[in-house]
Structure 1
Amino acid sequence: MDTDYIIITNNPFVASEYGEDHLVDYQEESFISLLQRVQRFVYEGHELLSHPLSGSVKPKETLYKSVLIAKKVAGLDLSSLKLIDSSIETCEKFHYKEETNEKNLEDMRFVDYTLISSAIASADV
């Protein structure tokens, strides 16, 4: 499937589920590092297509995040820039607890997968 977006993720489940049919940029990294990577894409002219802090999951409650950005590079989108900058500021206020329980990690991966699946369905319409 040729899409107009890129899935930026640190979630291996999202990468495995969408990697064959979508353009996925997966890296094993922290939540905040993922947001900083998305920020670099925004500075390069990509537009945010999903909210970096979507869902009711607080940044300190999960280790995984997936964000949709436009594949097409345009000029610097100021609304995307403000949104990613404020999302990073919000995340920096939280203290993360490293979770090692595999069941909790699976749940975190699945919640992120569900959220990004919804954004992908909307983007594909």
Structure 2
Amino acid sequence: MNGYMIITNNPMVRDKLGETHNVVYQEISYEDILKDVRDRIHEGHTLLSHPLSGSVKPNETPYKSIMVSEKKGAVDAQGLAIIENAIQACGKFAFRSDKYKPEVYGDFQLIDLTLIESGITSADTQMWSEH
């Protein structure tokens, strides 16, 4: 498709990008998204977007979308270090859903969607320049 896939727990990303991009949607926690991406990096996928992008701390949102390569190659050591650090950072924060009103979740989804769309634009531009 685009040379990358988006790993997400954000239903807005699934709904908006799912028909035009390779979106892997799972109803799991922020930390579990990070662990899923780590496992994919171990399998040879390359990390393409930073797991802690946008200055949004793991305890401030339940949603995360991360881009990885579709192709597998050698283990991305730098990506692995980044995702491991993100998992450690996530462990320091506990998301408290009880501190937010239900309508705020749509805002969290939109922020995550905007961040991943920015990453998509960058990835698509870079892929065009490589061809």
- Cα RMSD, aligned residues only: 0.9
Structure 2 counterpart SS, 1:68: strand
Q: Which runs of 4+ in 1 moved over 6 A?
A: none
Q: Tell me which residue corresponds to 1:104.
A: 104
After superposition, the C-alpha distances for 1:53-107 in whole angstroms (9 at most, x for unaligned) are: 1001111000000000011100111001101001000100112202562221000
Q: Within the alignment, does 1:80 sit opposite 2:79 as a pair?
A: yes
Structure 2 CA distance for aligned equivalents of residues 59 and 34 of structure 1: 11
Q: How does 1:33-48 map to 2 (within 5 A)?
A: 33-48=32-47
Identical aligned residues as a percent? 45
Structure 2 CA distance for aligned equivalents of residues 19 and 119 of structure 1: 15
Gaps spanning 5+ residues in structure 1: where? none
More helix by share: 2
TM-score normalised by L of structure 2: 0.92
TM-aligned CA deviation for residue 12 of structure 1: 0.3
Structure 2 CA distance for aligned equivalents of residues 25 and 35 of structure 1: 13
Gaps spanning 5+ residues in structure 2: where? 126-131
Structure 2 counterpart SS, 1:48: coil
Structure 1 CA distance for aligned equivalents of residues 58 and 11 of structure 2: 18
Q: How does 1:53-64 map to 2 (within 5 A)?
A: 53-64=52-63
After superposition, the C-alpha distances for 1:35-66 in whole angstroms (9 at most, x for unaligned) are: 00011100000010000010011110000000
Structure 1 CA distance for aligned equivalents of residues 7 and 101 of structure 2: 24
Structure 2 counterpart SS, 1:59: coil
